[in-house]
Protein backbone atom coordinates (compact mmCIF):
# COMPACT_ATOMS: atom_id res chain seq x y z
CA UNK A 1 0.00 0.00 0.00
CA UNK A 2 1.52 3.30 -1.05
CA UNK A 3 1.27 6.45 1.07
CA UNK A 4 -1.19 7.95 -1.44
CA UNK A 5 -3.44 4.89 -1.23
CA UNK A 6 -3.26 5.06 2.56
CA UNK A 7 -4.20 8.76 2.52
CA UNK A 8 -7.13 8.19 0.17
CA UNK A 9 -8.31 5.22 2.26
CA UNK A 10 -8.14 7.27 5.47
CA UNK A 11 -9.97 10.26 4.01
CA UNK A 12 -12.60 8.08 2.34
CA UNK A 13 -13.46 5.88 5.31
CA UNK A 14 -12.62 8.53 7.87
CA UNK A 15 -15.14 11.02 6.50
CA UNK A 16 -17.83 8.49 5.54
CA UNK A 17 -17.66 6.53 8.79
CA UNK A 18 -16.51 9.39 11.08
CA UNK A 19 -13.21 7.69 11.77
CA UNK A 20 -14.22 4.15 12.75
CA UNK A 21 -10.67 2.94 13.33
CA UNK A 22 -11.25 2.65 17.07
CA UNK A 23 -14.29 0.39 16.78
CA UNK A 24 -12.14 -2.41 15.36
CA UNK A 25 -9.45 -2.02 18.02
CA UNK A 26 -9.52 -3.43 21.55
CA UNK A 27 -9.11 -0.94 24.39
CA UNK A 28 -6.14 -3.02 25.58
CA UNK A 29 -4.35 -2.50 22.28
CA UNK A 30 -1.51 0.06 22.39
CA UNK A 31 -2.96 1.80 19.35
CA UNK A 32 -6.42 2.32 20.91
CA UNK A 33 -5.86 5.84 22.29
CA UNK A 34 -3.94 7.24 19.29
CA UNK A 35 -6.67 5.85 17.02
CA UNK A 36 -9.34 7.21 19.36
CA UNK A 37 -7.98 10.76 19.04
CA UNK A 38 -7.50 10.26 15.31
CA UNK A 39 -11.17 9.28 15.01
CA UNK A 40 -12.24 12.21 17.17
CA UNK A 41 -10.29 14.40 14.77
CA UNK A 42 -12.51 13.19 11.97
CA UNK A 43 -15.65 13.67 14.06
CA UNK A 44 -14.78 17.15 15.33
CA UNK A 45 -12.04 18.84 13.33
CA UNK A 46 -12.56 17.75 9.71
CA UNK A 47 -16.28 18.69 9.50
CA UNK A 48 -15.60 22.03 11.20
CA UNK A 49 -12.82 22.82 8.73
CA UNK A 50 -14.95 21.76 5.75
CA UNK A 51 -17.93 23.83 6.98
CA UNK A 52 -15.67 26.85 7.52
CA UNK A 53 -14.27 26.47 3.99
CA UNK A 54 -17.80 26.38 2.51
CA UNK A 55 -18.95 29.34 4.64
CA UNK A 56 -15.81 31.24 3.72
CA UNK A 57 -16.47 30.74 0.01
CA UNK A 58 -20.12 31.79 0.35
CA UNK A 59 -19.37 34.87 2.47
CA UNK A 60 -16.52 35.87 0.15
CA UNK A 61 -18.79 35.58 -2.91
CA UNK A 62 -21.51 37.70 -1.32
CA UNK A 63 -18.90 40.21 -0.16
CA UNK A 64 -17.62 40.63 -3.71
CA UNK A 65 -21.18 41.01 -5.03
CA UNK A 66 -21.94 43.64 -2.37
CA UNK A 67 -18.73 45.53 -3.15
CA UNK A 68 -19.32 45.54 -6.91
CA UNK A 69 -22.93 46.68 -6.32
CA UNK A 70 -21.72 49.43 -3.98
CA UNK A 71 -19.11 50.58 -6.52
CA UNK A 72 -21.81 50.70 -9.22
CA UNK A 73 -24.07 52.83 -6.98
CA UNK A 74 -21.20 55.20 -6.18
CA UNK A 75 -20.43 55.56 -9.90
CA UNK A 76 -24.09 56.28 -10.65
CA UNK A 77 -24.17 59.03 -8.00
CA UNK A 78 -20.84 60.67 -8.88
CA UNK A 79 -20.03 60.12 -12.58
CA UNK A 80 -22.00 61.36 -15.60
CA UNK A 81 -22.77 58.29 -17.73
CA UNK A 82 -22.68 60.28 -20.98
CA UNK A 83 -19.43 62.25 -20.76
CA UNK A 84 -17.85 60.42 -17.78
CA UNK A 85 -17.03 63.66 -15.97
CA UNK A 86 -16.91 63.31 -12.21
CA UNK A 87 -19.05 65.28 -9.77
CA UNK A 88 -15.99 66.95 -8.22
CA UNK A 89 -14.56 68.23 -11.50
CA UNK A 90 -17.98 69.59 -12.58
CA UNK A 91 -18.55 71.36 -9.26
CA UNK A 92 -15.05 72.90 -9.42
CA UNK A 93 -16.18 74.55 -12.69
CA UNK A 94 -19.31 75.86 -10.91
CA UNK A 95 -21.71 73.45 -12.66
CA UNK A 96 -24.24 71.57 -10.53
CA UNK A 97 -23.94 67.81 -11.06
CA UNK A 98 -27.72 67.34 -10.72
CA UNK A 99 -28.40 69.93 -13.45
CA UNK A 100 -25.65 68.42 -15.68
CA UNK A 101 -27.12 64.92 -15.67
CA UNK A 102 -30.69 66.08 -16.51
Between 27 and 83, whose beta carbon lies closer to Zn ion?
83
CA atoms of 35 and 44, how far apart (whole Å): 14
Handedness of CA 13, 2, 38, 24 (dihedral sign): positive
Stretch that binds Zn ion, among 12-20, 54-62, 66-74, 79-87 (CB under 5 A): 79-87
Handedness of CA 34, 36, 37, 39 (dihedral sign): positive
27 touching Zn ion, by CB under 5 A: no
3 touching Zn ion, by CB under 5 A: no
CA atoms of 64 and 58, how far apart (whole Å): 10
Between 45 and 76, whose beta carbon lies closer to Zn ion?
76
Between 20 and 80, whose beta carbon lies closer to Zn ion?
80
Point out which residues bind Zn ion (CB under 5 A). Answer: 80, 82-83
Amino acid sequence: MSILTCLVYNLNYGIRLSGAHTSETSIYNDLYWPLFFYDMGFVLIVPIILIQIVFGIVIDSFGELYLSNQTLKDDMKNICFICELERDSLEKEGISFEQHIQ
